[in-house]
Structure 1
């Protein structure tokens, strides 16, 4: 079983509006994320909300029980607190966790490539790469669950896991530039990503 943790708890202060409501493929980004994850080999989607959770409620159709929504009351403490909140809902038979940020568009094809890579190689961390640049989302084996429970803002969250387990990383070469997209400011939407 594979689980995705969709991190959507932040204030989006640099963007000036909730990032999940930005338009992507002619629909709100939150809808794109949930649809693409639903079309992939992911079995469970854990959505972690925080700041203004009500703006995302209309998009939570729960896909026949596939979606679990959590509220991170500590969202102001940073992304690591949302990661920990999401980890609290991981099932014991989960093999690997896909970490998805709300402001980084995901595609079911890329998700499936990461899962295929995990099953083929057995490595613990799988990162998509487009034209020699590492992207997202990142798939991490639950063999690293103890290390994941230790993430914090001081150690830069998931980056600390990636640094600590360099020998267990599989770079998955993809032909999709969207693995590099990251919408942080209005200028990002007007740039090469639009």
Structure 2
């Protein structure tokens, strides 16, 4: 059976937030830890988180006891998300990689299952690279499933566009409709963070 890794990107400088995003408190736990906890509930072969800005502080304050997990530090995080994606892809050993963003804690578990299952199905049916990307009302979001990553070249990517250029040049890209607007919600600004806290309190029935 083809193996799948989870790759969480959380290396940015948090410029728009003004403080280290992975360590923002969300319901008594750091934001990145919330994402890691959700990802850890799935049967990934390995779980990798790429960090960069304030990496040592993040590792000190986030506890994640899962034998599948390891950190990857991108010292050149100021060069953008694409380099963090490269570093993560270099670190994984699995056939396929499902890429998550470290500031998206509200993606529904059903959505993750849907993307994962479709990625595995496509991986068993074909031997060449492919991408499965969830769409909410025709707008693409995360997590993105990259199939047969050993055959992909991530080295030419640059800036903050992630894998956009690579995906645009691929033949096998599957837009997967999902009923989950949270695939589009990144916590980038203080206003986003306020909204996230309201959502967390509402979901957990807190005042």
When residues 62 and 87 of structure 1 are mapped into structure 2, their CA distance, relative to the original with a 3 A threshold, is: farther
In the aligned structure 2, how far is the partner of 1:97 from the partner of 1:121?
A: 13
1:1-150 to structure 2, matched below 5 A, reads 1-24=3-26, 27-57=29-59, 58-63=61-66, 65-91=67-93, 94-105=94-105, 106-122=107-123, 124-143=130-149, 145-150=151-156
In the aligned structure 2, how far is the partner of 1:73 from the partner of 1:98?
A: 22
In the aligned structure 2, how far is the partner of 1:170 from the partner of 1:25?
A: 35
Instruction: Report the secondary structure of 1:14's partner residue.
Output: coil
Structure 1 residue 143 displacement after superposition: 4.3
Tell me if the contact between 1:36 and 1:107 (Cα under 8 Å) persists in the aligned partners: no
Instruction: Report the secondary structure of 2:49's partner residue.
Output: strand
For the pair shown, which has the larger CA radius of gyration, 1 or 2? Answer: 2
Task: Please report the TM-score for the alignment, with normalisation by the length of structure 1.
Answer: 0.85
Tell me if the contact between 1:128 and 1:135 (Cα under 8 Å) persists in the aligned partners: yes
Task: Please report the TM-score for the alignment, with normalisation by the length of structure 2.
Answer: 0.80
Structure 1 residue 70 displacement after superposition: 1.4
1:152 maps onto 2:158 in alignment: yes
Structure 1 residue 24 displacement after superposition: 4.3
Instruction: Report the secondary structure of 1:148's partner residue.
Output: coil
Tell me if the contact between 2:136 and 2:177 (Cα under 8 Å) persists in the aligned partners: yes
1:185 maps onto 2:186 in alignment: no
Instruction: Report the secondary structure of 2:91's partner residue.
Output: coil
User: Residue 202 of structure 2 corresponds to which residue in structure 1?
Assistant: none
When residues 29 and 67 of structure 1 are mapped into structure 2, their CA distance, relative to the original with a 3 A threshold, is: same
Uncovered stretches (5+) of structure 2, i.e. residues with no partner: 200-207
Tell me if the contact between 2:95 and 2:148 (Cα under 8 Å) persists in the aligned partners: yes
When residues 126 and 24 of structure 1 are mapped into structure 2, their CA distance, relative to the original with a 3 A threshold, is: farther
When residues 144 and 88 of structure 1 are mapped into structure 2, their CA distance, relative to the original with a 3 A threshold, is: closer
In the aligned structure 2, how far is the partner of 1:4 from the partner of 1:77?
A: 22
Uncovered stretches (5+) of structure 1, i.e. residues with no partner: none
State the aligned residue count: 189
